[in-house]
Amino acid sequence: MFEGGTMGNPGKSGNEEYSSRSEIQELIAELDALHKAIVTHVAGVDFDAIHEDFRQSARNLMHYLALRQCDRRSLQMRLASLGLSSLGRAEAHVLATLDAVLSVLRRLRDEKVALAPREARISFVRGQALLHKHTEAVLGPEPCGRKVRVMVTMPTEAADNYSLVYKLLAAGMDCMRINCAHDDSEQWLQMIRHLRRAEKEIGRSCRIAMDMAGPKFRTGPIEPGPAVMKIRPVRDEFGMVVEPAHVWLTAEPDVPSPAGFAETTLSLPCSALSFLENGDKVRFFDARNARRVLDIVDAGPHGCMAELSKTAYIIPGQLMRCEGRDGTEHEFTIGEFPGATGCLRLCEGDELVLMKGCLPGKPAQHDEEGRLLAPAMIGCTLPEALDNVRAGEPVWFDDGKIGGVVEECREESLLLRITQTAMGGSKLRADKGVNFPQSDLGLEALTPKDLEDLELAAHYADIVELSFANSVADVMQLQRHLMKADRRQPAIVLKIETRKGFDNLPGMLLAAMRWPACGVMIARGDLAVECGFERMAEAQEEILWICEAAHVPVIWATQVLETLAKKGMPSRAEITDAAMGDRAECVMLNKGPHIVHAVEVLDDILRRMQAHQSKKCAMLRELHLAHNVDFDALSRHASEHP
């Protein structure tokens, strides 16, 4: 009657049904064992030191870390083949997800369903609700029509330009970020005043985040290059001059050219202004001994506007000659001006001495036959950090544009070997970032300047961002100082921008969860250098997963729509990158001339994307941050008090 099958399941043969039942039983046993192992990892942990709003979240974080300690992809595929949840969205509710899958499997086997104890189990709805609650505590209420917030870094002009702040808020800014590495306290306060005024006029609120500068490791000054000024006209694609160069000749360097029209200012003696007239031709031989002519087009009491139709190289003391209307020849010389901004040109294989201190750097010195006499040298802003660097460790400069390795540790310097530059070499300038991704530099996250800035931040900021957060001790230090500074408790955001900070994120999160409100910023610029650009995508995914398991909001930062903000036209890649920010709770834009338009574009992208995706399903391979988790150490972090 039931051909090809059994009465219990007419679509399957007896062997197929037995195989299916056997597979279901194996899955039940495997998931049961996994469930018990996850609960065991957290059993006995004292979460009393965690803020009451985060205790469930801290427990779920520990559950998630236990889940991700092993590769679960085979289990995922077997569950998916039965049409069941593959556990790929378990971050916010680990035990509830396991319970749901076990419940279905047991019903297929006609077994009784046993759920985890209610106090240990976060439901699907509760997990999302906790993330929503903690996000609002840090970033404020959800904006109308958009789930993801927009944070904008303030340029210096925001202190003097109320209209800019107003336009940013009207365009969709939800959080104003003040970078304490720039400007000063009076300018910060003026930015805040502008925001509060704009909030009243527009009728929408905006959070204030103050970013502590932290111990930023940068290159020191470099001796200036030769004092040579290159002046060139504008040419078309065929090399024809379409507009001459405009040069302002003046005896008063502080007096600007009319309407700021000139690209170049040259100083000359006061006596020269007495004989220069409109229509005069000033002739000279430039630094290359090329014959050149300046045409005086507008002579006045404070200076003369001149035009130059051929490229010229001018040096201080340049001799100029002009024949007056009466046939008299006049001479004068160009005054002093500073040399070109110094830089070191480095190629693969070059040596570089990184000095302790900020003595002016120097280029490499060679003899007449090109033999190296002395390698290039440059100082740094944190000389004490070099004491902890060891031979063989890598070093990166200028956001990863120049790479090297430590060859020798000396008493007052490090000898580096350059291993990576652009083709033909790269220029290293002053005030560029320095990264030692594999070195323990022993630097505290809060500098003396940060401690001063914290007093103002504790009074005015809704969010304090901890730059270069590397350890539990860094987080606890910030909490102690905030408790001393003011009764207010602004939210704290951990900026993950070093390899050490990435590796220590689980423990730092548990420490941050002692505070009423906390979040994490993925500072992708430095983090990409520290982790390696090829690993950056993987690292940011892990941070997103870990933070969702902790129900902690994430800020997606660094170079989002950067070309658009700076040049007015985005690249295709950065539009895609901005859309990926939909998986975080906030996206940060940096400053630029077109920042208002960038906010408008980002607002539109985020509104469109939320209709297409919500977070992302994950394949449960071994997670770097969970593979070697010391649960005893995490338990101590959860129970320690600041």
User: What does the domain layout of the chain look like in residue ranges?
Assistant: 21-128, 229-333, 343-435
Kindly state the tokens that stand for 625: 């941050």
Please determine, for residue 116, whether its predicted confidence score (pLDDT) is greater than 60.
no
CB-based contacts of 143: which residues, under 8 Å, 6+ apart? 149, 172, 174, 204
Read off the pLDDT of each residue in 583-598 and give the average, rounded to a whole number. 94
CA 504 to chain CA centroid, nearest Å? 18
- The secondary element (H helix, E strand) that includes residue 374 is strand 372-374
Using pLDDT thresholds of 50, 70 and 90, give the confidence band for residue 117.
Answer: low
- In 111-265, alpha helices (H): 124-139, 162-171, 185-202
Query: Above 50 in pLDDT, residue 1?
Result: no
Residue 4: is its pLDDT beyond 60?
no
Q: Please write the tens of the pLDDT for every residue from 314-357.
A: 999 999 999 877 778 899 999 998 887 889 999 999 999 999 98
Domain 229-333 has CATH 2.40.33.10: yes
Residue 154 is encoded by which pair of tokens? 């303030």
At residue 59, the pLDDT reads: 93
How does pLDDT run across 461-480, given as a tens digit for each residue? Answer: 999 999 999 999 999 999 99
Select from 168, 179, 175 the least CA-distant residue to 135.
175
pLDDT at position 620: 65
| 242: enclosing H helix or E strand | strand 241-243
With pLDDT > 70 as the criterion, what percentage of the chain qualifies? 91
pLDDT in tens, 182-213: 999 999 999 999 999 999 999 999 999 999 99
> To the nearest whole number, what is the mean pLDDT of the chain?
89
- For 182, 186, 225, 457, the CA distances from 485, given in Å and listed in that order, are 22, 19, 46, 9
Q: What's the pLDDT tens digit per position in 41-80?
A: 888 788 889 999 999 999 999 999 999 988 888 998 989 8
- Per-residue model confidence (pLDDT) at position 492: 98
Six token digits for residue 505 = 């994120």
Residues 377, 382, 388, 389, CA torsion sign: negative
Predicted confidence (pLDDT) at residue 448 exceeds the cutoff of 90: yes
Confidence tier at 19 by pLDDT (50, 70, 90): low
What pLDDT is stored for residue 402 in this prediction? 96
The residues, any chain, with a CB within 8 Å of residue 602's CB and separated by 6 or more, are: 150, 172, 560, 561, 578, 587, 589
pLDDT (average), residues 132-137: 96
Residues 6+ away with beta carbon under 8 Å from 203: none
Interval 206-238: pLDDT, tens: 999 999 999 989 999 999 888 899 999 999 988
In this structure, which amino acid lies at residue 621? Answer: R
- Residue range 343-435 forms a domain whose CATH class is mainly beta
Give the pLDDT score at 590.
94
Q: What is the pLDDT of residues 247-273, one digit of tens each?
A: 999 988 777 777 667 888 999 998 888
Two structure tokens written together for 435: 């990264």
Report the relative pairing of strands 518-523 and 554-557 from DSSP bridges.
parallel
Q: What is the pLDDT at residue 615?
A: 60
The pLDDT of residue 641 = 64
Same CATH fold, 343-435 and 229-333?
yes
Q: How confident is the model at residue 106 (pLDDT cuts 50, 70, 90)?
A: confident
What was the pLDDT predicted at 185? 95
Q: How confident is the model at residue 3 (pLDDT cuts 50, 70, 90)?
A: very low
HSE-up (13 A, CA, CB side) for residue 147: 19
